[in-house]
Structure formats: C-alpha cells, structure tokens
Amino acid sequence: MLSYFSIGLLTSTLLIASGVDILTSFRTAAILILISSTGLVAWLAILRGNREICFPEAIGMGLALGFIACASLMLLLRPFGFYFYGATIPLAIANSFFLFSRGRKFLNTSRLNFSPQDTALIVFIVFFGLYLSSPALLISALVVLLIMRINKSENYLLTYSMYAAIWSAIILTVLYLSFTSNAPEPFIFGQGAESVPREAWANSIVMFGPNENIAIFGNPLRYHWFSFAVFGMITRLSGLIPMVLFNSGLSAVIDLICVGGIIWSTTLSISKRKSIALLAVVIAYGTVSLNNPYAIITDSSPDATSWLVFVAAFAFALLNYSDFSPRVGPIFLAALGAATILSNGGYGTSLAVGLVFWILAIIARDKKLVLRKSISEIMAFGCTGIAMALSYFAFLTPSNYSTSTIDLSLRFLTATSGLLFVISFYSSRVITMPSLTRLVPAGFSYFYFGLAVVSIPGFFVYRNSTWNLTIQFTMPALILFATPLALACSKSWSEWAHSKRLRHLLALAFGALGFFLQV
C-alpha cells in the first residue's frame, strides 16, 4: 500500500502545484491507482507459477492492462448511454478480488513483493525522464537513486524511514518545479498550441467514439484514437478541467511509469540482476530522448510516449508467454496487439513483423513436434494477427481527409539530431544483433530481429520538412533494444579476448551519445 501511496502522492502533488484543487487531485490519484490494480488483477490471473512480482512490474503492466480494460469497455458501452461511466465496471469487479480471501488466493497475491527500493526506482524513472524539461531534476533523481541503493532490511523503522525520504523528495521536487516553471499559470509544463487539438480528440472520442466528422491537421478524428480515448477517460473519471492532464505533465508521468517499469522488469526477467535492469532504464531514457519527439514534456509527449506503453507491455507479455494460461493467453496477447496498432499504426506494424519472426523461430525449433508443443503459441500468433488486421481495416484505413505521408527522402539526415538518431539506431544493432541469441532467450531474440528489420524502411517512407516523423517504425525497436544493450554492457557477449573491457567502453560510448543528443 505504501508503494501505491507514493505514486498517488507524486501525481496529486503535481496536480496541486498545477492549480488543481486538492479533492480533484486526490481523486485523480485514486483513479490511477484503481486502474493499475485492475490491470494487476488481469496480470496475476493469467500468469501461472510463483515468480516474484516487484512493484515496477505490478504498476507498469497494471496501468497498461487497466487502460485497455477500462477504455475498451467505456467505448463498447458508450452507445448504450453509459458514456465514460462504463470504465468503472472493470474497476469495481477487478478490485473486489482483493477484498476477499478466496479472490486473493485465486490470484496468488503472495507473489507480490513491494519494497521501498522498488518504489524509489519508479520515482527515479519519473525524475530522470523529466530532466530534459528541468535539468535540475537530475539532482532529485540522484537523491532517490541513493535511497534505492540502500540494502533491504527487516527493520520496520528503516523501511518507513525510506518511504518518508521518498515522500520528502517528491514534495520538495514538485515545489521546486512550481517555483521555477516558466509555463503560463496555473500549469507547470504547458507548451501551448498542440495540446488544444489533442484535448479535443480525447474529449470527442469519449463522447462520440472514433469517427471522421471533424478533420484536424489532415487527419480524421479517429487518428491514433485509442491513446486519446485513455486520456479522455482519465480526464472524465477524475473530473479534471480541460488541458490539465496534458499541460501539468501528468500524461508524461503516467507514460514514464509504465514504459520505465516494464523495461526494468523485462531486463530483470532475463538478467536476474536489478543493477542491469536499472542500466536498461538509463539507456532507454538517456539515448532515445532526442529532443523531439521523445523529450517527454513537449507538445508531442501525450501521444508519442503513450504509444510506447502498449509496445513495452506487448514485448514483456511475449517474453512471459510460456507462463500464461494456454486458454486465455492468445486472447490476452491479441488485446495488447490491437491496443498497440490502434494507438499507432507504425508501432503496431513493427510489433506484427516481430511477432512473425517470433513464431517462425518457434516453428523452426520444434520442427515435427510443432503442433504438439507449440499449439498455444500458434494460436496466439493467429489471434493477434487477426485482431491487429481487423483493428487496422476497421479504424485506421485512410480516410477522405488523410494525406499521403509516403515519400522516399533522406532530408532528415541534414538535421544534427536526425544524424545522431541514425548513428544511435544502427550502432545498437551492429553491436547487439550478432549476439542477440546470447543476450536474450532464443525465441525472443527473433522478435528483436523482426523489429530491427521492419524499422529500416522507416527512415525513408515519411515525408516531412524535418526528420522527426521517421521514428514511426523505428521507435519500438529503439526503446526495446535498451534491454539487450544493457545486457551487452554487463557481460561478455563475444569471443573476443578483450570483450570485458570493451563492454565498459560500450556503456561510456552510449552514455556520451545520450548526452550529445540532449544538447
């Protein structure tokens, strides 16, 4: 409970500093916690075995799955007069499992292991992810990192002292942000113009569903509609006034928690070492910020980052698929795939190609025994592919309002940021691709291969005066490759005699690259 309270404190203080009244701020924090616990129920129900589940995994996957469950039911029940209140149904049903002993036994909640160190990690992820907006946040991130490095102890006094230190760091940091912000009152991170159409999209989707009645910037109203449905749902359930969710920075905080927590959990599942998992988070947020579009608090943040929530959740679910219940596993993976492609067509396409490579690796592994040993994986591939294809043709096919974005162009290379992006992108593959099967599980390594292959054309197909739209097919691979890069920096990944020395140079090189990308 103290871990969730810490996240509630972070979100509520951020809103209070943005001029939101105390009651609405607390209600928003409570809604986010309930959504996270709703998704956690689904994750615990489908995950077999007794593997320990830490707080970053619980809140990251919880929010991602909770968004899918609540937003989907809200949209399905909207035509029947429920409006946004349909989202409260899964909140009530799922959280009732925690109230009864039979429900807790069914979910095997003894697997949950929340600690102040893991809570400090989530706060560190938020502060480190926001440092582009305010470099002084690096100091707060380092303070929380020191708290996180304290060894576990059974001493209750020390445990509560660590939580108190985390809460103090949160309050002092938000106070600093409120006093130093240059954004118009009452917001902290407000950047202005593009938050207006995004607020309109989120509002309209909640009230009227995805449609093409209004076109903005050459795109129909359903453009990337599922992510906007999620943000519109949060705004309506919590009673926030328009623009607050985007301009207070809360949308970016939510995305940072999800993506960072899942990347950490993915790396931990493979390496079994929390220090390596932390390195993956630093690589992810240190080298893919790229000023725009992944500078977390910018006009692009509400959609660019929220798309990655479902990308990271899909990859982590695929990594753990062998632990899923075979009856509901395919449906579960299909829901994640549909949410991804409905949030961003390019991202969904990348995951679909990665999924093809994954199933081909499984078939090649099992050969003649494929139907006996891999029937669940084949069903998952089929269900996910069908769900993503239907989602695309039902909601993402070009409309009369859309304009073509296909163009063979290298003009983005004329920008320094674009050139550094290409260097970062391809160097990560040159280093990790030959040794992927040594760094990550065999089947999962082919998923990475697929992401790398499909992202190559992404540099050449988007027409724009700047380079930033080229990331539509490349960002999933770039954010997910943080895991093999962290593994490559932490252990011998080749037969070279000086591999151990080179891995430290590799870490320094990517750290320097990340620094220059922010300048």
Per-residue pLDDT reduced to its tens digit, 114-131 = 989 999 999 999 888 877
SS3 label, residue 423: helix
Q: Residues 249, 357: one domain? A: no
Region 151-174: what's the mean pLDDT?
85
Q: Which domain holds residue 124?
A: 2-192+227-265
pLDDT of 64 strictly over 90: yes
Residues 6+ apart with CB under 8 A from 461: 405, 406, 407, 408, 470, 473
Backbone angles phi, psi at 53, to 5 degrees: -115, 115
Name the DSSP class of 465: S
Both 23 and 108 in one domain: the answer is yes
Distance of CA 476 to the CA centre of its chain: 10
* Integer Cα distance of 14 and 27 in angstroms: 13
Residues 362 and 478 in one domain: yes
Shared domain for 186 and 261, answered yes or no, is yes
Cβ atoms within 10 Å of 310's Cβ, excluding its own: 32
Which of 430 and 53 is assigned the larger pLDDT? 53
> Taking the model in full, what pTM does it have?
0.86
Averaged pLDDT for residues 194-208: 72
Residue 462: the pLDDT is 47
**How many structural domains does the chain have?**
2
Higher pLDDT, 27 or 438: 27
Confidence class for position 296, pLDDT limits 50, 70, 90: very low
Could you tell me if 252 and 401 lie in one domain? no
Q: What local confidence, expressed as pLDDT, does residue 61 receive? A: 94
476-503 mean pLDDT: 70
What pLDDT is stored for residue 250 in this prediction? 84
Residue 396's pLDDT is 66
Residue 329 shares a structural domain with residue 387: yes
In a domain, residue 272? The reply is: no
Choose the final residue of a domain: 205, 235, 265: 265
pLDDT at 314 over 50: yes
- Of residues 379 and 152, which shows the higher confidence score? 379
- Residue 279 in any domain: the answer is no
Q: Let me know whether 253 and 321 are in one domain.
A: no
Residue 213 domain-assigned? no
To the nearest 5 percent, what fractions of the chain are helix, strand and coil? 75, 0, 25
pLDDT at 484: 84
In a domain, 278, yes or no: no
3 state SS of 462: strand
Please state the φ and ψ torsions of residue 295, each to the nearest 5 degrees.
-70, 110
Kindly report the average pLDDT of the chain as a whole number. Answer: 77
Task: Based on the fold, state whether residues 383 and 464 are members of the same structural domain.
Answer: yes
Exposed/middle/buried for residue 404 (C-beta within 10 Å: 0-12, 13-18, 19+) = exposed
Domain membership of residue 210 (yes or no) is no
Considering the domain architecture, whether residues 41 and 109 belong to the same structural domain is answered as yes
